Each structure stands twice: as structure tokens, then as C-alpha cells.
Structure 1
Amino acid sequence: MKKNSLVSKLLMTFTLIIATCLVVIAIVLSVWFENYHFNQRKQQLDLQAALISKERINVYNGNSQLEDLSSVANYVSLSIGADIVVTDYRGVAISSSESKQSLLRTQIIDSKNVEDLKSGKSIEDRNGKNRAFGDSQYVYYKPIMYGDTFIGSIVMTTPLEQIKGQLKQVYTIIWVSILVALVISSIIIYYVCDRLLIIPLAKINTAAKRLAKGDIENRVYIRSKDEIGELADSFNTMAESLEEVEKNRREFISNVSHELRSPITSIKGFIAGILDGIIPLEKEKYYLGIAYEEIQRLTRLINDLLDLSAMEAGKLKLNVSEININEIIRHCTISLEQKIKEKRLKVDVVLEGQNLYVAGDRDRLIQVVNNLIDNAIKYCNENGNVKISTRSKGNKALISVYNDGATLTEKEKTYIWDRFYKSDKSRTNKVSTGLGLPIVRHILSLHGEDIWVENKTGDKGVIFTFSLKKV
């Protein structure tokens, strides 16, 4: 695992968080158990102190002797593992267990503690410092009350080492458990991260590197419903898009090569024939005319490619103004009159009113209308019909161009907007570049408008309709 890898950072972060939580839990448990242990000790001392208090009251009433009190204190001392001293109301030792006989008749409770004990409250000293009993002692003071009268107290001392020795075992268990839990959680986190993050991300990383080297068919297969699965799906979608782009690029290069090669080959052949004297002198003008037509075809192709590239790159700027779309339709129809006459077509122009003003770039909309009418002429049979119409719908002007040629299949409806696509290559190979409709769609998209195609219902023919914003 790399030092700066995502998993190592996650592992360190989660381990630190878990370690912090476990340490806090361990501290809380340690403090709680220590308090619990001392409270249990206190309850035990209170219980045993009741026996001594009873005997001290008997002594106070003259029903018993101090020797009897010492015997009870010694018995209790052995049973609870604590040294015991019984004092009078002044804090002077009057009886004790055998281990504390040396303290008899000495002041072992200071005046401040005596005053506190007179109120009937017990005193607990965990600090382990007492001038009478020395350091490192747990001292517990229990008052002896006869009715409301304070007649003495019981002082019980236990070495802190004895108490903390029991606590150390618990502390050891707690901290060892915390350490084991931390190690186990770190191992679990690592393997979970390895399964959920490292392996999937490694697959995606490897696939990305292979994709960068040109392996566009490579895919990542990760069955996961989380963000990693979404990332893999997004990667596969990107790879499919790149594969489609690469496919289109190859098709584009192939189409451009074909479209350029054909006229260049014709021009080269005719010129070579003239230079070599193969073509008779009286035929030179005819073949030069064909070469000129091929040059015009090349010019149209190059201009269309430049326009399309500029549009796709977003470099084409529109000069939007108020224009009369009816006038443009009349102008374009007249400019194509020669082609219409050659195919003996019947053209019906139905316009809404004399003028229909829209917002758009005049030159580009002329290009749109000209391409659509020219396209209708190409795909219309001889003696066929072409209809051009305009109408309003809300704040939009709808312009339709109809020809009664063959209808389009669903596949053709999808691909006619692709570059170099020709639905009937045998009829249009010499007169069409296959870029007209893609250019039309891009121009209208730049205007924020749309174009769509439909087969005429219940009759033959195809209708192209596009929208423009009315002024």
C-alpha cells in the first residue's frame, strides 16, 4: 500500500478516529470503574462499621469494656482487610485493631474533620495522605452517633496499593481490549477498503491507462450500486462515447478521402488525357467543362467542410437582424429555377401574407432555405412536385419544404443529419456532398431553433420543417 494512496489516507483517518473513540471509552470506563470500586469499598466499610458503632455505644452506656471494642475492631479488620481505630468525640484514639495499638490515646483526627463528623456525615480521603497513618492510604471516617449526640468515630485505613492493585488488573483488561479492538478494526477497515475501493479503483485506473493508449474497446466491469459503480458506469459511457467519436472520425476521414479522391481523379485523368494528346482536340472543351464541374464540386465540399467545422467549434458568429423570410424563399426558388426546369418539376409556393418577419442571420438563413429546396429537387422524381410554405404558430414562424419523392425509413431519419450521409448515393453522388442537412441543423441550432423531418401521412413524399422566432 502506497504511503500517499487514498486507501492509506482513509485507513489512517479511520484508525485515528476509532483510536480516539476507543481511548475516550477506555478513560471513561477506567474512571467509572474506579469510582464504582471505591463506592463498593465504602459500602463494605459502612456495613462493617455498623458492628463497631453498636459495640462503641455499649461501651458508652457502660454495657461493655474497651477490650470488647478492640476485639470487635480486630475481627472486622481481619474480615475487610483494613486497619481500624475508634476515637472519642475529640478525635483521640480509644480503641483499635492490633495493627494500630500504637495510636491509642493520640489525636488522630484534626479539629476540622471532627467538626464535619459531628454533623453525622462520613468523610472519605482518597488522596492517601494522613499524618497519623502515613502516605498512600485510603482513609474512611465514619461518625458514631448516639441519638443526636456525637460520641466518637471509626477510622478505617486501607493501603492504596492494595486497592489500586485490584484496579490495575481491570485497567490492564480495558486497555488491552482497546488495543486489540483497534488492531482488529484497522485490519477490517483495510480489507473493506481493499475490496470496496482499492481493487475497483485499480481496475478503473488500469482501464483509463489502456484507453489513453488507444484501447477504446476496453471496459470496466464492477457490480456495485454505490458511487464506485456509478464511476465505472460513467467510465464505460465515456469509453463508448470515445469509441463512437473514433468511429465517426475514421468514417469522416474515409468519406472526405473518397469525396476528394473522386473529383481529383477525374480532373487528373482529363488533364492528363489532354496533355498526352489522347483526347481529340475537338473534345478538349467538353472534357475541360467536366473538369471545371469537378473543381466546383471540390469547392462546394471544402466550403461546406469549413462552415461545418466553424459551427462545431463555435467560431461562427451570427449577424441577427429582422428579415423577411418570405422574400428569402422567393429569392432562393428563383435562383434554383434552372434545376427545377431540368427535372420539369411543379413547384408550389404558399406563403402566409406578403411579408413574414423573423429574427435571424440573413446569409445563413438563405443557406438553410437554399439547401432544403435544393435537397427537395435532388430527391424528387422528374415531373414531380415540390411545395414550399410558411405559417405562423404562436410566436414562431414554421417553414416547410415538401417533395413527393420516396419516403424515409426510420433509420434514414436518424442518419440524414450525419455528415456525408446520402440516402440514395447512386442518384446524388455527383451533385451532393452529404453535408447540406448537417449544416442546416447547425445553423438553426445557433439560432436556438429546431428542424424535423416527417413522411407525409397517407401519401408519398417527405416534409422538412423548421422554426424561426417571429418579430
Structure 2
Amino acid sequence: MFKKNKRISLLHYWTSRYLLTLFIGLAIIFLISAAWIRHTTFENRLELMEFLADETVYRLTDTTNPNNGPINGIPGFIGDRERFNMREIDPILYVVDTEGNILTSNRPVPPGSAKNVAGLLDDEEGTKEITGGLEPEYVVKRKIEGNNQLLGWVLVKEKKDNLTRVNQAYGQLALLIGALALLGWIAIYFLSKRLARPIKQVAEAAKHIQEGNYTVDLPQDSKEKEVYELVTSFENMANKLEQLEKTRTELLAGVTHELKTPVTSISGLLQAVKDGVVTGLDAMDFIEMAMVETTKMKTMVGDLLAFNHFAVDAIPVKIQSVDVNQLLRDAVAQWEVLQDEDSVKVNLHLIEQAVYVQVDIVRIQQIMTNLLTNAKQAMDKGTITLILKERGDKLSIIVKDTGHGIPLEDQAFIFERFYRGENKKYTIRGLGLGLPLSKMMAQSSGGDLILIESNASGTSFELVLQRATSL
């Protein structure tokens, strides 16, 4: 048994995933920022302790100070705790002699401190971490010198925890991160909601199409390019599906009608001859008419088979290099021979020099026959113009008539199989395979068949052919 996946809404999916990603990202930023704040605060407070030690040494050795005297004679200055009190930390400051005896301090000296302070003395100044006690501490040592003699030391001590404590900064950072998370969630919620709305509408429209209702009304006011293209493409698809569905429903009736008509005519004509309704020359005329209907039916069945074979690439294409000027002359001549009347004239505008193309000659002649026949059917009388143009490694054959044109609503579907416009549906017999088959044959030779334009003054088709690279 396959477990059915539970589907969730796009809004819920994107919002939850974004929040998870946002929280993870902000948590990483918080940890990095907290570590940076801790390190920076620690460095700044150490510098402050060093400044305090340097300032104390300077005050004790300042010869311009009238109160300056022996080290043990200035307890008032060091004892003034408020002058050295700091907002974030409150370090202990000792002034000791060369033996390590505490001369003065900014705090009362706890019992046993003298021994601990003496153990810190050596011949080097600097900042040092002390880890031997209950809590790690940092001490800043500075020499007190006078007349090139070592008079004593200034020691500034503070616990490591006090140097790195930044609770207020952590709270402010947490507040900032929380505000960013809230703003990010609100932003992604409304953006996801805005993006999910048209997708949901398209999904609803797809359900209507699935049920056979091709009329969809989707909003076209989306500012997002991709969403707008999705909506418009879906509407165009729905319109095309509606048209194809109409074409599909008409196909069976159309093909049945087109094939039934010659069968009925043939049956009626032959039945009349068999029953002796007509005799002699009349019977021969009836048989001749039956033969004509048979030829028409054979042509339609041949079109169906040819289209089927081209659709599955079952017909081999024989590509040859041929002079396009001669190819057009032959195609027009063959078509004109089959015409019963000369009410339509064909004007050829060829290229002066010989130009060769790579085509299947038989297929190109079929295409030209179909285009010329369609052009003739579009007008009672007039002129069909064929213009040959060079376009780089391609050649274009423009076939232009002076007929009534193709209705605008039909132009998007003329290359759809079995599609027949309103102008031809009830006036000209056929299966609606001429142009689709011609396009497929052109593409099989590396070319294409395109509708350039069609209006009340005429229609222009372009047959694109591949120029031959060598003879």
C-alpha cells in the first residue's frame, strides 16, 4: 500500500519553511553577534583597565604635582574610589612597593590579599590572566619608576566574568533579532499570500476546464511578470482547448459527412444504372460522375493516410539540391494544367541567378499546389503573386492572393489538423488537412510554412526553404 502524501497550502508551506529558515539564520546571527559583542566588550574593558593603570602611574610620578611625594604618602588620591569607579566594571587597584607590600588601594584590603598580590610581581609589565583562584581573573601590571629606579607597582585586577558580562547588550540584541523575525514573517506572509492567490485561481480554473467548462476569467492586473505570463498563457491555453474541443466534436461529423457524400452519390448513380433508370449515353454519364466522386473520395482518404504517415515520421523524405527558379516554374505549370478555367493568373517574381535549395521536390510541389488551390478558392478571379526572396542561408517563397482573406478568429487555428474555417466549412469540401500537411512537409525538408498576414485585401503565406550548401 502506498502512503498518500498530505498536501498543504502554498501559503502555509512557504510561510512555515521561511520562518524555519529565518529563525535558523537569525539564531546563527545572534550567536555570532553575541560572541563578537562579548569579545569586543572584553577587549575594551581590558584597555580601560590598562588606561587606569597608566593614569595611576602618571599621577604618582608627575613631578609637577605639589602633593607628589613618597608612594606611601598619597593614600588620599588612590582612596578616592569615585574617581576610578566605572559604569560596567569596578576593578581593584593596588599600589605596592618593590617587596609586594600593599601601600594603598581603592578598596579595603581583604585578609590574605597581600600575599596574593606579592605573588603576582615579576620583572615584566603587561596584562595577564590568573587561573589559580576560585574564578579566573585578569591583572594589569605597570612599574612605578623614579630617577631610573623601580619604586613599586600599580596592579589593576578584575574577574573575567565581570569583564565579559554584557547582559544588557544581549537583551538589546535579542529584542532586535525578535523584531527582525516578526517583520520577516509578516513580509513573507503577505508576499506568499499575494503570490498564492493567482496560482489558486489558476488551479480553480483548471478544475473547471477538467469538467469541460473552458470559460475562465482570471485577473490580468498582476504586477509580477512571471505571474502575469502564467495567467495569460493559461487563458490562451483555455481558449485554444475550447477551440480544439469544438474541432474535435466537429471532426467526426465533418469526416463522416465528407466521406458519406461521395459514397451516397456513387451508390445512387450506380443503382440508377443497375435498375435501368438511365441507359445508353446517360448511363455512361452516370458512371463517369461516379468515377469523379470515387476520385474525390480517394483523394480524401489519401490525405488522411498521408497526414497519418507524416505525423509518425513514416514517410521517408528524399532531399535533393534543385534550382528554386525551375522548381517554381514546374510547380506553377503543373497546377495550371489541372485548372478548368483561366480566371486566376499567376505572376512569378524569381531571382535572376540560379539559386539552389535542399528539398524534397515532390513534397514542395504538393505544398505549392495546395497554396495555389487555396488562393484560387479565396477569390472569384484575380492574381496570385509568387515572390522569391533570399534571406541569408534561407530562401522564402511568398504566395499572395487578392481574395477575401481569413477571418481573424480563424487565423490562429489554420494549421490545426481537421480545422476548417466558417468560410470553407459549408462551401468547399475537404477534411481540413491541406495546410497542416503542407506545414509538416515543409518542416520535414528543414523549412517552414508561415502565415504572414491576412485581411480583406488578401492573404500572404511564406514558404521557407533551406539553401543548398553545395550542388
Query: TM-score if structure 2 supplies the norm length?
Result: 0.69
TM-fit CA distance, 1:148: 1.7
Indicate the residue corresponding to 1:145 in structure 2. Answer: 145
Q: Does 1:36 align with 2:32?
A: no
CA distance in 2, matches of 1:8, 1:94: 64
Indicate the residue corresponding to 1:236 in structure 2. Answer: 232
Tell me if the contact between 1:85 and 1:100 (Cα under 8 Å) persists in the aligned partners: no
Give matches, 1:5-20, under 5 Å: 5-20=13-28
Cα–Cα, structure 1 residues 78 and 361, in superposed 2: closer, same or farther, change >3 Å?
A: closer
Q: Does 1:172 align with 2:181?
A: no
TM-fit CA distance, 1:407: 2.4
TM-fit CA distance, 1:318: 1.8
1:356-395 per-position Cα deviation (integer Å, ceiling 9, x unaligned):
86532133123223334544555565xx677797978698
CA distance in 2, matches of 1:329, 1:205: 58
Tell me if the contact between 1:260 and 1:298 (Cα under 8 Å) persists in the aligned partners: no
Tell me if the contact between 1:415 and 1:421 (Cα under 8 Å) persists in the aligned partners: no
Indicate the residue corresponding to 2:4 in structure 1. Answer: none
Greater alpha carbon shift after TM alignment, 142-151 vs 343-352: 343-352
Q: Root-mean-square deviation (CA), in Å?
A: 5.1
TM-fit CA distance, 1:237: 0.9
| Bigger relative contact order, structure 1 or 2 (CA pairs below 8 A, ≥6 apart) | 2
Give matches, 1:230-269, under 5 Å: 230-264=226-260, 267-268=263-264
One-letter code aligned to 1:95: L
Indicate the residue corresponding to 2:181 in structure 1. Answer: 186
CA distance in 1, matches of 2:390, 2:83: 109
Give matches, 1:280-299, under 5 Å: 281-283=276-278, 293-299=292-298
CA distance in 2, matches of 1:397, 1:79: 95
Report SS of the residue matched to 1:281: coil
One-letter code aligned to 1:439: L
CA distance in 2, matches of 1:380, 1:86: 118
Q: Does 1:59 align with 2:70?
A: yes
One-letter code aligned to 1:143: K
Indicate the residue corresponding to 2:130 in structure 1. Answer: 127
Give matches, 1:82-121, under 5 Å: 86-89=95-98, 91-93=99-101, 95-96=103-104, 99-100=108-109, 108-110=117-119, 113-116=121-124, 121=125
Tell me if the contact between 2:220 and 2:231 (Cα under 8 Å) persists in the aligned partners: no
Tell me if the contact between 1:145 and 1:152 (Cα under 8 Å) persists in the aligned partners: yes
Q: Report the structure, 1 or 2, having the larger helix content.
A: 1
CA distance in 1, matches of 2:462, 2:116: 115
Indicate the residue corresponding to 1:442 in structure 2. Answer: 440
Cα–Cα, structure 1 residues 49 and 259, in superposed 2: closer, same or farther, change >3 Å?
A: same
Report SS of the residue matched to 1:27: helix
Tell me if the contact between 2:56 and 2:154 (Cα under 8 Å) persists in the aligned partners: no
Report SS of the residue matched to 1:100: coil
One-letter code aligned to 1:25: S
CA distance in 2, matches of 1:23, 1:248: 61
Indicate the residue corresponding to 1:407 in structure 2. Answer: 403
TM-fit CA distance, 1:187: 2.6
Give matches, 1:382-393, under 5 Å: none
CA distance in 2, matches of 1:74, 1:463: 106
Cα–Cα, structure 1 residues 174 and 310, in superposed 2: closer, same or farther, change >3 Å?
A: farther
CA distance in 2, matches of 1:50, 1:402: 104
Report SS of the residue matched to 1:87: strand
Report SS of the residue matched to 1:258: helix
CA distance in 2, matches of 1:463, 1:137: 94
Percent identical: 12
Indicate the residue corresponding to 1:63 in structure 2. Answer: none
Report SS of the residue matched to 1:195: helix
Indicate the residue corresponding to 2:206 in structure 1. Answer: 211
Tell me if the contact between 1:372 and 1:401 (Cα under 8 Å) persists in the aligned partners: yes
TM-fit CA distance, 1:204: 0.9
Tell me if the contact between 1:263 and 1:295 (Cα under 8 Å) persists in the aligned partners: no
CA distance in 2, matches of 1:266, 1:26: 91
CA distance in 2, matches of 1:249, 1:319: 36
Cα–Cα, structure 1 residues 23 and 93, in superposed 2: closer, same or farther, change >3 Å?
A: same
CA distance in 2, matches of 1:362, 1:351: 20
Cα–Cα, structure 1 residues 160 and 375, in superposed 2: closer, same or farther, change >3 Å?
A: closer
Indicate the residue corresponding to 1:320 in structure 2. Answer: 319
Tell me if the contact between 2:450 and 2:463 (Cα under 8 Å) persists in the aligned partners: yes
One-letter code aligned to 2:23: T
TM-fit CA distance, 1:138: 4.9
1:19-64 per-position Cα deviation (integer Å, ceiling 9, x unaligned):
222321222112212332343344345445656667997337xxxx
TM-fit CA distance, 1:151: 1.7
TM-fit CA distance, 1:230: 1.0
CA distance in 2, matches of 1:28, 1:376: 81
Indicate the residue corresponding to 1:365 in structure 2. Answer: 364
TM-fit CA distance, 1:78: 10
Unaligned runs of 5+ in 2: 1-7
Cα–Cα, structure 1 residues 104 and 263, in superposed 2: closer, same or farther, change >3 Å?
A: closer
Report SS of the residue matched to 1:340: coil
CA distance in 1, matches of 2:97, 2:41: 35
Report SS of the residue matched to 2:118: coil
CA distance in 1, matches of 2:132, 2:387: 108
Tell me if the contact between 1:137 and 1:159 (Cα under 8 Å) persists in the aligned partners: yes
Tell me if the contact between 1:77 and 1:84 (Cα under 8 Å) persists in the aligned partners: no
Tell me if the contact between 1:407 and 1:462 (Cα under 8 Å) persists in the aligned partners: yes
One-letter code aligned to 1:24: I
Cα–Cα, structure 1 residues 18 and 50, in superposed 2: closer, same or farther, change >3 Å?
A: same
CA distance in 2, matches of 1:397, 1:78: 97
Cα–Cα, structure 1 residues 436 and 239, in superposed 2: closer, same or farther, change >3 Å?
A: same
Tell me if the contact between 1:218 and 1:239 (Cα under 8 Å) persists in the aligned partners: yes
Q: Does 1:24 align with 2:20?
A: no
Q: How many residues align?
A: 435
